[in-house]
Amino acid sequence: MTSSKTSRRSTAYRPALAWFAAIGGAWVFVLVTLGAFTTTIGAGMAFTDWPLSNGSINPEGWLENIAMFAEHSHRLSGTLMGLITIALAVWLHKCDARSWMRRLGWFALSIVIIQGIIGGKRVLFDTMSVPGFEMSFGQMLRIPHGILAQLYICILIFIVAGLSRPWIERRIPVSAATRRIGAISIGLLLLQLTIAATMRHNYAGLAIPTFPASTPEGNWLPATWDYRVTLNFAHRIMAVVLSISLVWFAIKLWTDRGASLLMRCGASLMVGLLGFQILLGAHVIWQFRGPHVTTGHVVCGAFLLATTFWLTCLAYRDVIAAKTSST
């Protein structure tokens, strides 16, 4: 039985599986967009029950009310994301000979399950107060919910990269220095997105209401400090550090002889997304958190993370293949 199952597994390129994973990778950005828009317009509690919405999977009036539409669409897209992840995990388990790839599939499914539970508890515990904090326990759960979403994107992109033809059929001999700056950039991105999620859900997006300076007088340091101002200022400082790191990573990819043309084009896309993200961040301040530009800022950040993680995965392809060749 076990030998028969093993014989059906292989490391060969499987177009159907690769494209299915890519579709899942695309759908996650629909989910992120709807989640970001729901948070931006404050529609997270458009329905006070869960998992149903007003006791139904098709609540009355949800297509006419923008808050209800945002929240219910987010729930429906999350359900579809869960079904896609289940199918992907099972497909990988049955067909992929690489144990690390099969584990990634189950890890992605675990995150989706945890995300669903956190999202549900965020609604059910919305009125549960926490002594010493302004936010309720349910409102606090929005922060890990947002952070785990970024981790899920990384895992899904890892699966997509590992199933791609370049990964399976070619070596990618980039230098250790290029790999290292890629890993540093990913670490900085995840730190920045954690700060951003914490800032966003503490309503600190306009704690410093001017940009690029921190005061109307043009000072770079805020005139007064509290925890919201600190979060906002940390987000700005991290943006500078991250910009240096990402541009450095792009330069390494452009000049590395082992990088493919696809990776060099990806590096150009990464720099373009970085510039667009900075522009959107400025307009978030200038337009006082307009819902569309704020949602765009969140989604662009997710695209930037996905692109950088994909490039880093490809950079580490030969290292991972060498370490897992026996599994």
pLDDT tens for each residue of 68-79 = 999 999 999 999
For 3-12, 51-60, 116-125, 220-229, which range has the lowest pLDDT when averaged over its residues?
3-12
Q: What is the pLDDT of residue 226?
A: 94
Mean pLDDT confidence for 205-218: 93
pLDDT tens for each residue of 64-109 = 999 999 999 999 999 999 999 999 999 999 999 999 999 999 999 9
* Domain spans in the chain, listed from the N-terminal domain onward: 12-169, 171-327
Q: What are phi and psi of 302, to 5 degrees?
A: -70, -40
Of 263, 247, 265, residue with least CA distance to 316 = 263
Q: Is the pLDDT of residue 236 over 70?
A: yes
Mean pLDDT confidence for 49-71: 95
Mean pLDDT confidence for 41-64: 94
Residues 222/208, Cβ–Cβ less than 8 Å:
yes
Q: What is the pLDDT of residue 322?
A: 87
Residues 184/208, Cβ–Cβ less than 8 Å:
no
Q: What is the pLDDT of residue 216?
A: 93
**Single-letter amino acid code for the residue at 246:** L
Q: What is the pLDDT of residue 323?
A: 83
Burial class (CB in 10 A: 0-12, 13-18, 19+), 176: exposed
Q: What is the pLDDT of residue 8?
A: 74
Q: Is the pLDDT of residue 325 over 80?
A: no
Q: What is the pLDDT of residue 321?
A: 87
* Cα–Cα distance measured from residue 193 to residue 208, given in angstroms and rounded to the nearest whole number: 18
171-327 CATH choice from 1.20.120, 1.10.3470, 3.30.1140, 3.40.50: 1.20.120
> Peptide bond before 59: cis, by omega within 30 degrees of 0?
no
pLDDT tens for each residue of 261-289 = 999 999 999 999 999 999 999 999 999 88
pLDDT tens for each residue of 129-152 = 988 888 899 999 999 999 999 999
Burial class (CB in 10 A: 0-12, 13-18, 19+), 260: middle
Q: Is 175 left (phi over 0), alpha (psi -120 to 50) or beta?
A: beta
* Cα–Cα distance measured from residue 264 to residue 177, given in angstroms and rounded to the nearest whole number: 16
Residues 8/94, Cβ–Cβ less than 8 Å:
yes
Q: What is the pLDDT of residue 1?
A: 44
HSE-CB at 160 with a 13 A cutoff on CA atoms is: 23
Q: What is the pLDDT of residue 5?
A: 53
Residue 8 DSSP class? T
Q: What are phi and psi of 27, to 5 degrees?
A: -65, -30
Q: Is the pLDDT of residue 6 over 80?
A: no
* Cα–Cα distance measured from residue 216 to residue 172, given in angstroms and rounded to the nearest whole number: 50
